[in-house]
Chain A
Amino acid sequence: MANTTKLNVIYGDVTLGLSGPGFHYIFAYDRGGLESLVRYGKEWLYRTPKPAFWRATTDNDRGNGFSTSSAAWLGADMFSACTKIEVAVNGQSIPLPIAPENNKYSDHETAETVAIKFTYTTTTVPATTVTVEYVVDGAGKMTINTHYHGAAGLPELPVLGLRFVMPTAATGFDYQGLSGETYPDRLAGGRPGTYHVDGLPVTPYMVPQECGMHMANDWVKVTRATTQNNADPDHQPFSLTVSQNGHPFAFSCLPYTPEELENATHIEELPVARRTVLTVYGATRGVGGIDSWGADVEPQYHVAGDSDHDFSFEINGTTEA
């Protein structure tokens, strides 16, 4: 039994590979993050997940100048770089295992858990850091802990999250949370329950903008039926589930990044939907509504830039899936 729950660890020169029954993950030192998340032969990542700081400007954001005052986060959302990588095996830190450090390993290494932590330094002035730690166990369960270091002088954040871009568009998603599109200041009407959403609908606001937020979820399960793998003719649906770790989380599941939404003045200008953009949020600003030409979002629904924020969630292990 013990052997079956152990993680296989591949101490590569460019990446750290972790595998077990039904999963294979690759963390890339050169790409600064989780490069590959394969479950039962299906790839779930298009590019490495990065911290999310931006939301496509809402009409109210534009009207009250928030997108102007917080514009630094748009740059940070697109261009913040990974500046540090730390690895721990069975809870013990080890030096970054690249050659010659990894010459001591074999092709049959195992561990109980492996943690890898990426530090991203923002492009803001002043700069700050966000750490994203992935803790993986032998069942393939991935616990993701994110920490934002507040820094004096930073503008308020539109959002704080971790964005996963998947190679192909999802057929839909299921979640346990609130009905409809909800925000911190607009969730009283959301009815708790388990919901299915077909496809990846973009709320058709006249000018494409932040949309599709779901507050207070226990889990979300994304289902796709296609891959980019030329050797995979199978079109059976397959799923990935993200679950809460102690606190409900917010997410959006859309075919576009905030930057793609930001650039469009009409919904028909958006590109053909090719990907799935799943963003898990630790904090999100309210949308406001007093007016659309100056009134601020009420203060309790702001996300401070000068204080720390933490959030944590899980990607379910294969044995639970």
Chain B
Amino acid sequence: MKAEISWLDDPQTFRVNQLPAHSDHRGYATAAEAAEAKSSLVQSLDGSWGFAFSKDPQHRPVGFYEPDYDRSDFDRLAVPGHIELAGYGQIQYINTAYPWEGKHYRRPAYSMGADHPEKGMFSTDPENTVGSYVKHFTLNPELRHQRVSIEFDGVEQAMYLWLNGHFIGYAEDSFSRAEFDLTPYLQDGENLLAVEVFKHSTAAFLEDQDMFRFSGIFRSVRLVAKPALHLEDMTIRAGVDDAFVTGNLNVKLALSAADKLAGAVKVSLFDATGNVVWTDDSEAAAELTVQTTVNHVHLWNHHDPYLYRLEVTLLDADSQVVEVVPYPVGFRRIEMKDKIMQLNGKRLILNGVNRHEWDAHRGRAVTAADMAHDMQVFHDNHINAVRTCHYPDQDDWYYLCDQNGIYMMAENNLETHGTWQKMGAVEPSYNVPGSLPQWQLAVLDRAKSNYEMFKNHAAVLFWSLGNEAYAGDDIAAMDKFYHDADPTRLTHYEGVCRNRVYEDRISDMESMMYDPPREIEKYLQNDPDKPFVNCEYMHDMGNSIGGMNSYIDLIDKYPMYQGGFIWDYIDQALWTKDEVTGQPVLRYGGDFDDRHADYEFSGDGLLFADRTPKPALQEVDYYYGQHD
């Protein structure tokens, strides 16, 4: 297959040769490796890559992926990282309008009719910057002679991949893991990996989040070996009976084999102290389901995030262990009962925040230390819930939320604000995805990637369809996907309030943003059908968070008021060097000569961009402590 640059212009081409999305479990060669969480089956490709920057597709080094291409003028670039923060390409912050506002007139493909495919919009865009990345690698001994795939955890916004000159595949969706099979083209000794990253494609219309607009390989990249027997996917359902005493565990496994699928599968459940609770031995099969009950199960919740450990061990026909997969399991039940969301039979109160991934030095390429810090801030301030606004986060964050009992509203990567709201007015005349069939598969794929990757995390209570993308058949199809795939969780969508025609088909809860307390009270007094959640409230821009009690008072007054998520967790600003004094300073939108910009609107956090707390945090601590 040949890579086509026209894919950038086509909303119906968003994944080419990608492996199907699956559970985020990690395989280990031995139980000892699993215990140390260090897998010899994984080879990181993070670090220094060869790199060439091009101001537009016409100036890109076509054919740079060929082994004999002259790349002597390539620079070096750190992966993961944003191209713009390395000094290539202009930094821009913009909220609702698209980043090309004032520079290009654009309508999304097919939004003005089936005869408007808008060919060439991005493939010939004179401002669509291109990053050409190359990485030489030699397989670690443990990965040799095995099936090997490559995982890209985040590449913004469209990427083409080659190995040793062979085209491998194409991916969009900047915030979901993209995985490709490299096996057919791996060679002994040194291999040449090449990734061509375009800043914009039709995905740009779906990724209009209120944030700095970056491009590049901004999350980790790794090679993953699949042993002779490999656990491809796993679906864990850990619920509890109506009496909340007996746990129900159902584990569905999907296996693949290098050759013949033969051997055995051992599935064990351990409690938090390491005692075996249950174990099962089955014959290896492409698909198998095992289940059990757990008497007097220790339930998982915010205050007691008790995690069992599931361990799946794959043995070959000679009974040799070939792969060990551990996974934390939290037993809990989230359900809608009498129009109130309940966790383990108790009314759920969300003391939440919206959290963008942000690091003032590194942009959205956040570190483990950033995440650990954030978790500590949650813990110290009675924050019990997080909305992954408005895209899936780094995988580690979900495990941290499992461990720390943080309720997650797991949002997929979608925001199309600029296609339906202009200067505050609702004007959806060219909204995408809307009900356009040409955009539906792309958004469904985003929903599926989000679900498949994070479906086993106890912390995830809600699937969120995205943010501010208006409403239409395509959003309704996403909601249906989540419900069909996962009967154990509830769905959320902010746009439920934007077009009431769809309200019964796009969100299990009523969701509003920035609704004044008295308006929420009117809703609650009017015998509503659904509980109310503030998906965004208490806009902490600058010196704010005044009057929070007017929201918190609703909790005791109205059982169907279930709290919300403060906007937002951390200011988005970037450390730069003051052009006058040379001192490090924090800069925001417009400070990079970026126009059109939304300036300081990115500074809405409970924390300053350097992660020091804003004074208002003590107020949040106080009020969230009232119902913790």
A: residues with CB less than 8 A from B are: 58-60, 63, 179-191, 203-207, 209-211, 266-268, 286-293, 295, 297-298, 301
Contact A292 B618 (CB under 8 A): no
A contact residues around B107 at 8 Å (CB): none
Contact A189 B539 (CB under 8 A): no
**11 A-B residue pairs with CB within 8 Å:** A60-B539, A60-B544, A179-B618, A186-B547, A189-B621, A205-B543, A206-B600, A206-B608, A268-B583, A286-B546, A287-B543
Interface size on B, residues (CB 8 A): 45
User: Complex: how many Å from CA A101 to CA B623?
Assistant: 62
Complex partner residue of B548 from A60, A186, A209, A268, CB under 8 angstroms? A186
Give A90 Cβ to nearest chain B Cβ, in Å: 46
Contact A180 B615 (CB under 8 A): yes
Contact A59 B618 (CB under 8 A): no
Give A189 Cβ to nearest chain B Cβ, in Å: 3
B contact residues around A293 at 8 Å (CB): 424
The residue on A at minimum CB distance from B622 is A189
Give A58 Cβ to nearest chain B Cβ, in Å: 5
B581 at the interface (CB under 8 A from A): yes
Contact A290 B542 (CB under 8 A): no
B211 at the interface (CB under 8 A from A): no
Give B514 Cβ to nearest chain A Cβ, in Å: 4
Complex partner residue of B542 from A58, A185, A301, CB under 8 angstroms? A58
B contact residues around A190 at 8 Å (CB): 618
B: residues with CB less than 8 A from A are: 424, 514, 516-517, 537-550, 571, 573, 578, 581, 583, 585-588, 591, 600-604, 608-609, 612, 614-616, 618-623
Give A57 Cβ to nearest chain B Cβ, in Å: 9
Complex partner residue of A207 from B516, B542, B581, B616, CB under 8 angstroms? B542
Contact A207 B622 (CB under 8 A): no
Contact B583 A290 (CB under 8 A): no
Give B591 Cβ to nearest chain A Cβ, in Å: 8
User: Complex: how many Å from CA A25 to CA B581?
Assistant: 41
Given A266-B587, A290-B516, A186 and B542 touching (CB < 8 A)? no
Complex partner residue of B618 from A180, A268, A289, A301, CB under 8 angstroms? A180
The residue on A at minimum CB distance from B604 is A292
Complex partner residue of A185 from B546, B609, B612, CB under 8 angstroms? B546
B contact residues around A182 at 8 Å (CB): 615
A contact residues around B540 at 8 Å (CB): 289
Give A317 Cβ to nearest chain B Cβ, in Å: 33
A contact residues around B585 at 8 Å (CB): 266-268
A contact residues around B614 at 8 Å (CB): 203, 205
User: Complex: how many Å from CA A287 to CA B547?
Assistant: 8
A contact residues around B620 at 8 Å (CB): 189
A contact residues around B615 at 8 Å (CB): 180-182, 203, 211
User: Complex: how many Å from CA A186 to CA B585?
Assistant: 28
B contact residues around A179 at 8 Å (CB): 618
User: Complex: how many Å from CA A321 to CA B578?
Assistant: 44
Give B544 Cβ to nearest chain A Cβ, in Å: 4
Contact B619 A186 (CB under 8 A): yes
Closest 6 CB pairs of A and B: A189-B622, A59-B542, A181-B615, A185-B546, A206-B603, A189-B619
Give A177 Cβ to nearest chain B Cβ, in Å: 13
Contact A206 B548 (CB under 8 A): no
Contact A186 B424 (CB under 8 A): no
Given A205-B603, A292-B604, A295-B514, A188 and B619 touching (CB < 8 A)? yes
A contact residues around B424 at 8 Å (CB): 293
Contact A292 B546 (CB under 8 A): no
The residue on B at minimum CB distance from A189 is B622
Complex partner residue of B571 from A206, A289, A290, CB under 8 angstroms? A206
Contact B550 A298 (CB under 8 A): yes
User: Complex: how many Å from CA A58 to CA B544?
Assistant: 8
Give B389 Cβ to nearest chain A Cβ, in Å: 16
A contact residues around B609 at 8 Å (CB): 206
User: Complex: how many Å from CA A185 to CA B517?
Assistant: 14
Give A148 Cβ to nearest chain B Cβ, in Å: 23
Complex partner residue of A298 from B537, B547, B583, B604, CB under 8 angstroms? B547
